[in-house]
């Protein structure tokens, strides 16, 4: 935080203040409106609050030849953002850009900064740097085939950049992107079928991965309904005959907000209860460990049971113990606690277990998921392994233990 000096009061302000009395910038209903900003130290002329975060950025130095041309800089920035949206399905609120100016050794410098709005980064900018020639070629192709003269809503313009619409001109930057596209390319990738539509970059990458590895291709974006025809969720990928649903979880959308996490768990519990086998993959899974994903999908499609061991263990928390005991009273097939141990030594603590039906309830610390990305990924991976071993996994948000929602879940699970 820091303070800025007050601006010099104008003649108009002085006249207004003479009639209105001391003004501190508060509403007329504010109880401290009468504080005199010139006399009271509690009034700060300008107070800025900021947070220090770690994330991904790409900084592009701007040569003096283009730094002074605002139209070129804005067109260049928006073209990159357009390319990211086309290739990686990046939403306008996920990657943003601004111009940075500074003085170094008496000389003015400028750069274009593209930054990831999510703390820790989504990985889009890392892929962009690795894919510059191909991404630039995609941008050139889209700009050249667009019928507009300068810019339109099919290329550089969108709702979010209305303030610079008058500056945007694709003709200014086409030659630059052509030069970038002519650089040494990375490994050639076969384009996706244009009739297949995805909601995110993760979905497109996973589909491409399944296709390249010769696996059967799933149905895309299918709405899954309950017996009454009510929609449960829209599955990213579904193998209907095998009863397998694959969900891709970007952290920004699926694990940064507690309400969203609980909504997801509730819907996915419904899918589990209706006999679907879920596989949940994160951005890191898709981009950093594609071989592991392929092996899991192959194993799921083959129906090969995984090697997993159940061990007795009481719940560690008092409230969790009470929840498990209530479930056991409603359905004696469930016993409190338990632990699943995997061949690699990892394990998963259980809230309650029905050994006969191979059904496991797991307590999810929602706050921990929002704060610890590694824990979130580990627990998703453990649930995938449990499902492949034939277990049905029902996850209980920690906020539900001892609540009305928790009691409703007990009733629902006990009836199955």
Please report how the helices 201-212 and 70-88 are oriented relative to each other, as an axis angle in degrees rounded to 10: 50
Q: Any alpha helices (H) in 21-69, and if so which ranges?
A: 64-67
Q: Is the separation of the CB atoms in 122 and 256 below 8 Å?
A: no
pTM: 0.61
* DSSP for residue 362: E
Q: What would the mean pLDDT of 325-345 be, rounded to a whole number? A: 91
What confidence tier does 29 reach under pLDDT thresholds 50, 70, 90? Answer: low
How many CB atoms are located within 10 Å of the residue 231 CB? 10
Q: Is 289 helix (H, G, I), strand (E, B) or coil?
A: coil
Strand-pair partners of 395 = 362
What confidence tier does 331 reach under pLDDT thresholds 50, 70, 90? Answer: very high
- The continuous run of DSSP H or E covering 2 comes out as strand 2-3
What confidence tier does 193 reach under pLDDT thresholds 50, 70, 90? Answer: low
The rounded mean pLDDT for the chain is 83
d(CA 208, CA 202): 10
- Dump the DSSP string for 216-276: PPPEEEEEEE-TTS-EEEEEEEEETTTTEEEEEE-HHHHSS-HHHHHHHHHHHHHHHHTTP
Q: Quick check: 141 pLDDT over 60? A: yes
C-alpha Rg value of the chain to the nearest Å:
28
Strand-pair partners of 95 = 116
136 Cβ neighbours under 8 A, 6+ residues apart: 83, 177, 178, 180, 181, 183
Percent of the chain clearing pLDDT 90 (strictly above)? 44
- The residue among 267 and 416 whose pLDDT is bigger is 267
187 Cβ neighbours under 8 A, 6+ residues apart: none
d(CA 195, CA 214): 19
Residue with token string 């453990």: 382
**Mean pLDDT: which of 85-94, 268-277, 318-327 is highest?**
268-277
d(CA 15, CA 136): 57
Q: Is the separation of the CB atoms in 394 and 272 below 8 Å?
A: yes
Residue spans per domain, the chain: 1-50, 57-181, 201-415
Q: Is the separation of the CB atoms in 116 and 57 below 8 Å?
A: yes
**Per-residue confidence (pLDDT) for residue 280, from 0 to 100:** 95
**Across 10-24, 133-147, 167-181, 233-247, least confident range:** 10-24
- The residue among 394 and 52 whose pLDDT is bigger is 394
Q: Report CA torsion sign: 128, 134, 140, 142.
A: negative
Residues 196-251 pLDDT 10s:
566 677 788 889 899 989 999 999 888 898 888 888 888 999 999 999 999 998 76
Q: Is 247 helix (H, G, I), strand (E, B) or coil?
A: strand
């Amino acid at each position: 935080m820091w303070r800025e000096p007050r601006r010099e009061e104008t003649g108009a302000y002085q006249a207004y203040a003479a009639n209105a009395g001391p003004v501190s910038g508060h509403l007329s209903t504010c109880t401290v409106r009468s504080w005199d900003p010139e006399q009271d130290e509690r009034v700060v002329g300008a107070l800025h609050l900021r947070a220090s975060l770690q994330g991904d950025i790409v900084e592009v130095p701007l040569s003096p030849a283009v730094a002074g041309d605002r139209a070129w800089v804005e067109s260049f920035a928006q073209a990159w953002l357009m390319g990211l949206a086309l290739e990686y399905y990046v939403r306008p609120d996920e990657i943003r850009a601004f111009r940075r100016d500074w003085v170094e050794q008496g000389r003015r410098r400028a750069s274009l900064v593209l930054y990831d709005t999510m703390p820790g980064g989504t990985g889009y900018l890392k892929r962009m740097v690795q894919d510059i020639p191909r991404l630039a070629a995609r941008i050139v192709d889209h700009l050249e085939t667009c019928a507009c003269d300068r810019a339109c809503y099919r290329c550089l313009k969108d709702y979010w950049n209305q303030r610079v619409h008058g500056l945007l001109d694709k003709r200014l930057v086409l030659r630059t992107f052509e030069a970038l596209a002519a650089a040494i390319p990375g490994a050639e990738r076969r384009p996706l079928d244009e009739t297949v539509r995805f909601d995110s970059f993760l979905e497109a990458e996973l589909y491409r991965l399944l296709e390249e590895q010769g696996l059967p291709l799933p149905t895309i974006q299918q709405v899954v309904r309950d017996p009454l025809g009510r929609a449960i969720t829209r599955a990213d990928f579904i193998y209907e005959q095998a009863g397998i649903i694959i969900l891709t979880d970007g952290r920004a959308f699926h694990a940064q907000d507690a309400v969203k996490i609980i909504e997801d768990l509730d819907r996915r519990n419904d899918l589990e209860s209706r006999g679907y086998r879920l596989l949940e993959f994160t951005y890191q899974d898709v981009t950093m460990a594609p071989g592991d994903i392929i092996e899991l999908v192959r194993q799921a499609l083959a129906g090969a049971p995984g090697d997993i061991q159940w061990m007795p263990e009481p719940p560690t928390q008092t409230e969790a113990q009470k929840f498990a005991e209530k479930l056991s009273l409603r359905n004696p097939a469930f016993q409190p606690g338990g632990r699943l141990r995997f061949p690699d030594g990892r394990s998963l603590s259980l809230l309650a277990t029905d050994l006969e039906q191979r059904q496991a309830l797991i307590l999810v610390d929602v706050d921990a998921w929002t704060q610890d990305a590694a824990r979130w990924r580990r627990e998703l991976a453990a649930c995938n392994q449990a499902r492949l071993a034939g277990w049905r996994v029902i996850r209980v948000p920690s906020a539900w233990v001892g609540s009305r929602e928790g009691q409703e879940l007990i009733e629902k699970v006990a009836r199955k």
